Amino acid sequence: METNIVEVENFVQQSEERRGSAFTQEVKRYLERYPNTQYVDVLLTDLNGCFRGKRIPVASLKKLEKGCYFPASVFAMDILGNVVEEAGLGQEMGEPDRTCVPVLGSLTPSAADPEFIGQMLLTMVDEDGAPFDVEPRNVLNRLWQQLRQRGLFPVVAVELEFYLLDRQRDAEGYLQPPCAPGTDDRNTQSQVYSVDNLNHFADVLNDIDELAQLQLIPADGAVAEASPGQFEINLYHTDNVLEACDDALALKRLVRLMAEKHKMHATFMAKPYEEHAGSGMHIHISMQNNRGENVLSDAEGEDSPLLKKMLAGMIDLMPSSMALLAPNVNSYRRFQPGMYVPTQASWGHNNRTVALRIPCGDRHNHRVEYRVAGADANPYLVMAAIFAGILHGLDNELPLQEEVEGNGLEQDGLPFPIRQSDALGEFIENDHLRRYLGERFCHVYHACKNDELLQFERLITETEIEWMLKKRVIPLAGLFHRPERKPGLTFAGNPDIFRMSRYGAQAATGFR
């Protein structure tokens, strides 16, 4: 276990000669296997888990040996790709570039066109050659190394849920499940583990599986999930934490691309439907020592003291980590009763109503399933939140709350913030998170997400108009006599509807 070290962790510390040799050999092997390659997408992953980068001619690939340049502000972008100046990485710094170097072992065919296009991950380094501390991948790597330095080696697996969608909205403008290819049969029923649903969408699911194999993504087969058009794909357990998250993001990209190929959309949105289950990202984690032994259980298969410390730390930081686990306004719509989503920090054995579930298994496979994050979250940051919680539990003597038995959704526990504004406030005010994740990262993340929220809150939605005008004003208009014309409020810009006293206008709109 001690010798199984990912090359990229020490990439920026390696000598130029060793780095160049490893990269040159990787490029050579790739082009021997895929000689028709014409372009390569070089990719960074931003705060939102979106790929940012450029497509370069294959002839330019070898130039990446010494790195390339991207602005530091790529890690201060909102979900729409706009730089958030309040984060402090844009014009305030003069929009500086930083060096980006290839992540060794990440050169694979692109799902966009695997014969002619490759893709490779980049990681950013700061002016002093150290990993750029705002890049989510580097935030995770720093915490991972802290665990390894303590002789603890995580083994993790990522589970991702997503929806396939029809390209066309329904008659009311809402999202809808796709028809089975070649038919007019639109599945509107919830059939978890349905094999027939897999058969209906076999073509797109088979293409996803084929491309995953081509990209060396260790993915299990798809499972039909709880709602129409919803599926889950699980990645295999690995002791390479960074690669686990690399693979999760690559899987998201290829799922979307394969859905487009089959004239559908795919979404990892946390809650695309009001009436159906949301989509989650569940993380399984076990811990080994330097001999490869699972240290989460004792010789009898019971929970070890180390596991109890880990649970206490993860639970204590979970509410303040919600800004990472539920990064968008829509994310919080997933946390509703009856949707098999935990709404408070809790733990239990073989219980899917808790936040931290200890699944069935023997002592060699003792692990924790972290069930809180939405599928829309950035896997690097979800994993970083988990590791921060684990370190918090190891560094402090924290009480572990009682195990939940029965329905955890109906029992008291440490509640989650249910609005993004509350989650962002708890996040930035938590001293422990700022220490583990880094002050600058927390400032940048909070600034970007807070700006997104402010933009969203400025929007006037159709629902507001429906509720405030159509449902409130027009039916009540007849309740008020038409007074003599005088200064006051005029509704909807139409003087023929009614002009009334300020009190009357307030009553009509439902505000008092």
2 falls within a domain: no
Are both 444 and 300 inside the same structural domain? yes
pLDDT digits (tens, 9 = 90+) for 207-225: 999 999 999 999 988 888 8
Are both 281 and 381 inside the same structural domain? yes
Are both 371 and 322 inside the same structural domain? yes
Domain stop point among 72, 97, 128:
128
134 falls within a domain: no
From CA 19, how far away is CA 177, in angstroms rounded?
48
Domain stop point among 71, 105, 128:
128
Identify whether the C-beta of residue 394 lies closer than 8 Å to the C-beta of residue 309.
yes
pLDDT digits (tens, 9 = 90+) for 32-47: 999 999 999 999 999 9
Closest CA to 361 of 306, 296, 405: 296
Angle separating helix axes 136-149 and 241-261, nearest 10 degrees: 150
DSSP string, 407-446: -GGGS--EEPP-SHHHHHHHHHH-HHHHHHH-HHHHHHHH
From CA 41, how far away is CA 99, in angstroms rounded?
17
Identify whether the C-beta of residue 240 lies closer than 8 Å to the C-beta of residue 156.
no
From CA 74, how far away is CA 81, in angstroms rounded?
8
Residue-number span of the structural domain to which 29 is assigned: 7-128
85 falls within a domain: yes
Please check the confidence at residue 312 and state whether its pLDDT lies above 90: yes
Neighbours of 394 (CB within 10 A): 17
Are both 265 and 372 inside the same structural domain? yes
Are both 441 and 503 inside the same structural domain? no
- pLDDT for 115: 96
CA 314, 320, 324: angle at the middle one, nearest 5?
A: 90
Higher pLDDT, 171 or 154: 154
From CA 363, how far away is CA 484, in angstroms rounded?
82
Neighbours of 487 (CB within 10 A): 7
Q: What are phi and psi of 219, to 5 degrees?
A: -100, 140
pLDDT digits (tens, 9 = 90+) for 350-366: 999 999 999 998 888 99
Closest CA to 400 of 385, 388, 414: 414
- Range 109-113 contact pairs with CB under 8 angstroms and sequence separation of 24 or more: 109/34, 109/211, 109/214, 109/215, 110/41, 111/211, 111/215, 111/253, 111/254, 111/257, 111/258, 112/41, 112/257
Please check the confidence at residue 116 and state whether its pLDDT lies above 80: yes
Neighbouring-strand partners of residue 121: 43
E-strand stretches of 138-296: 153-165, 223-224, 230-234, 265-267, 281-288
pLDDT digits (tens, 9 = 90+) for 250-282: 999 999 999 999 999 999 999 999 989 999 999
Least confident among 8-22, 138-152, 266-280, 374-388:
8-22
Are both 99 and 213 inside the same structural domain? no
- pLDDT for 186: 76
pLDDT grade for 1, boundaries at 50, 70 and 90? very low
Please check the confidence at residue 452 and state whether its pLDDT lies above 60: yes
Please check the confidence at residue 471 and state whether its pLDDT lies above 90: no
CB-based contacts of 199, cutoff 8 Å, min separation 6: none
User: Looking at the 3D structure of the chain, how many domains does it have?
Assistant: 3
**At 92, which CATH number?**
3.10.20.70
Please check the confidence at residue 5 and state whether its pLDDT lies above 80: no
SS3 235: strand
Least confident among 6-15, 38-47, 103-112, 147-156:
6-15
133 falls within a domain: no
- pLDDT for 463: 84
Are both 181 and 105 inside the same structural domain? no
Are both 428 and 495 inside the same structural domain? no
What token pair was written down for 409? 């959704």
Are both 439 and 290 inside the same structural domain? yes
- pLDDT for 4: 39
SS3 10: helix
Higher pLDDT, 346 or 63: 346
- pLDDT for 71: 95
pLDDT digits (tens, 9 = 90+) for 472-497: 555 544 444 444 544 443 333 333 33
148 falls within a domain: yes
From CA 385, how far away is CA 277, in angstroms rounded?
24
- pLDDT for 327: 98
Are both 346 and 495 inside the same structural domain? no
Element of type H or E holding 211? helix 202-214
Least confident among 287-291, 387-391, 472-476:
472-476
pLDDT grade for 195, boundaries at 50, 70 and 90? low
Are both 242 and 148 inside the same structural domain? yes
What is the rounded average pLDDT for all residues in the chain?
A: 87
Element of type H or E holding 217? none
Least confident among 311-325, 374-388, 412-426, 467-481:
467-481
135 falls within a domain: no
**At 390, which CATH number?**
3.30.590.10
249 falls within a domain: yes
Residue 341: burial class (beta carbons within 10 Å; 0-12, 13-18, 19+): buried
pLDDT digits (tens, 9 = 90+) for 164-191: 999 999 888 889 988 877 677 777 665 5
Domain stop point among 417, 435, 458:
458
Are both 354 and 492 inside the same structural domain? no
